[in-house]
Structure 1
Amino acid sequence: MHHNKQPHSQENIEVWADLVNIKDLLLALVITSALTLGAYFIAPNEEPKPLYYGLVGALIGFIISSIIIKPKRKFETTEDK
């Protein structure tokens, strides 16, 4: 399997040996952080509910980010001769 990476541009940064769009990364961070903190602060003040609410908020933020932000990488199958 062969994959094409996005060309290096000003809108991309390298994270863990992969190119990431800065705008998409910031959008995902804002969504996930807002939902995590929001869920944490609305949780009842009984241990360990703030932790559980925060984790659920983070999970929901991750799911929303993965739906909104689509992968940009294209994979092509090639046959070696």
Structure 2
Amino acid sequence: MRKENDPNEKKNIEVWEDLVNLKELILSLAICSVTTLSAYFLAPAEPPKPLFFGLAGAIVGFIISSMIVKPKRTFEMIEDED
């Protein structure tokens, strides 16, 4: 749950109905872009290989980003009083 006067709220933006830290979003996008393009340009020039190398680079970028940026979501159990 979000508090009304949360100081981190100003650093977050809403993406697909979820709050995301802008600095971490840009960092993750940069990491994924660099790994994807690096793998694509390092691939041999034979037709399907650049696609597969680029996809592998995107997966590597996702894994690196998920290790660097940790989730900040917390869940609270609220019991109904019925």
User: TM-score, normalising length from structure 2?
Assistant: 0.86
More helix by share: 2
Residue in 1 that maps onto 2:12: 12
- Show the counterpart of 1:35: 35
Answer 1 or 2: higher relative contact order, Cα 8 Å, separation at least 6.
1
Misfit runs of 4+, over 3 Å: 5-8
| Mapped partners of 2:77, 2:67: distance in 1 | 25
For the pair shown, the structure with the greater C-alpha radius of gyration is 2
- Deviation at 1:10? 2.5
Q: State the distance in 2 between where 1:78 and 1:48 align.
A: 52
Identity %: 59
SS state at 1:74 partner: coil
Q: 5+ residue gaps in structure 2?
A: none
- Greater per-residue strand proportion: 1
Q: Distance in 2 between matches of 1:46 and 1:75?
A: 49
> For residue 52 of structure 1, what is the amino acid of its counterpart?
F
The equivalent residue for 2:59 is 59
> Cα RMSD (Å) of the superposition?
1.5
Deviates more, 1:5-14 or 1:47-56: 5-14
Question: What does the per-residue CA deviation read over 1:2-37, in whole Å, with 9 as the maximum and x for residues that have no partner?
Answer: xx2374633111111111100110010000000000
Q: Distance in 1 between matches of 2:60 and 2:42?
A: 15
Residue segments in structure 1 that go unaligned for 5+ positions in a row: none
